[in-house]
Amino acid sequence: MRQNVAFSIGNLAVIEKADADFGFFKNVFSGVEGKAKSLIPSIKLLIYNRLGDCLSINRLGEFTSKELFSRLGAKEPISDRTNNRTLERLGIKAQLIMANYQGVVKQNGLASDVQHVDFSSSYFIGEECKMGKLGYSRDHRPGNPQITYGISVGENKIPTALTIQNGNVVDKEHMAVMLKLCPKVLEPGSILIFDCGGNTKKNKEKIFSLGFDYLTLKPKKRGTYKVFIQQYLKQKKEKKLVEVKFGEQIYTCAKWGNDGESHYIFFSKKTKQEQMGIKHSKLRRKLEKNEELLKKV
């Protein structure tokens, strides 16, 4: 009796649609395959895995059926060794792959003119990664070497740029690297949205010189915020505040210009009440436990 075989069709459908609509794998990985005949099926398998169960490479063969290998274009099961070699080849050819990917994105008009830029890190166990350095760890593993990476994702949720740097590169330096990639795919007038980690005068000047605009945060420093609060209170007294609604939340907003920038500060009574409630609850718990009180307000 034939045994039934089941696998996730959703992950496979995404892969097949991307290939059918954009020739994704042929165009993005052109010039990468060399003599590796099973490279594209192996790449599809790795993507399929990341879209679903996220199994370790050493277990992929154990949980992948012959029918799925066939649907991914493999004539025979792909070994763990082949998948590891595929990962190594992709890492070596990362810049070429990124250039090909951006070409596909631009050619098909997939790049949104509103881009969200953010940075993160991943740590390693071991010392073999040449880019692995000790630095600020977002994974809370400060004793392990890591790499930092930056990604720019459009308002349409399609990523447009990826950068990988040494683990000790800070966000403001990484932002400068990201700005070298953005012009390859974004149209002039696009808006880059990023947090205060990339907010430096040099980076903002570079954004303007590339023909882009930006929306960013001010660093959370008392001196900086004091000026903003003073401006808010001044405009409140002069009755110049504007009411803004985001979803169900209502804010009052003050806007002014300084040093060629437009500055905004928002205030919500509801958010203030929620945050003060959280602080009061935290204080009560510490009092009940007789813990040392925090001096920071």
Which pTM does this prediction carry? 0.78
Rounded percentage of the chain residues whose pLDDT exceeds 70: 96
Taking 60 as the threshold, does the pLDDT of residue 8 lie above it? yes
Element (DSSP H or E) covering residue 278: helix 269-289
pLDDT at 261: 87
SS3 letters for 42-99? HHHHHHHHHHCCCCCHHHHHHHCCHHHHHHCCCCCCCCHHHHHHHHHHHHHCHHHHHH
pLDDT of residue 112: 92
The predicted structure's pLDDT at residue 243: 92
Mean pLDDT across the stretch 89-118? Answer: 90
CB atoms within 10 A of CB 182: 21
Residue 265 φ then ψ, to 5°: -135, 130
52-66, 96-110, 117-131 — which one is most confidently predicted on average?
A: 96-110
Query: What per-residue confidence (pLDDT) applies to 75?
Result: 84
Residues 240 and 254 sit within 8 Å (Cβ to Cβ): yes
CA 68, 83, 105 angle in degrees (round to 5)?
80
Residue 268 has pLDDT above 50, yes or no: yes
- What pLDDT was estimated at residue 1? 46
Q: What is the pLDDT of residue 297?
A: 44
Query: In the predicted model, is pLDDT for residue 5 greater than 70?
Result: no
Say which amino acid occupies 102: Q
What was the pLDDT predicted at 213? 94
CA distances from 16 to 31, 44, 72, 73, 99 (A): 21, 9, 9, 11, 22
Q: Which residue type is seen at 111?
A: A
Going by DSSP bridges, is the β-strand pair 191-193/242-246 parallel, antiparallel, or unpaired? unpaired
Instruction: Tell me which of 44-53, 93-102, 135-144 is least confident.
Output: 135-144
d(CA 229, CA 99): 44
Sheet of strand 242-246, all strands in order from the earlier edge strand to the far edge: 242-246, 249-258, 261-267
Model confidence at 293, in pLDDT bands (50, 70, 90)? low
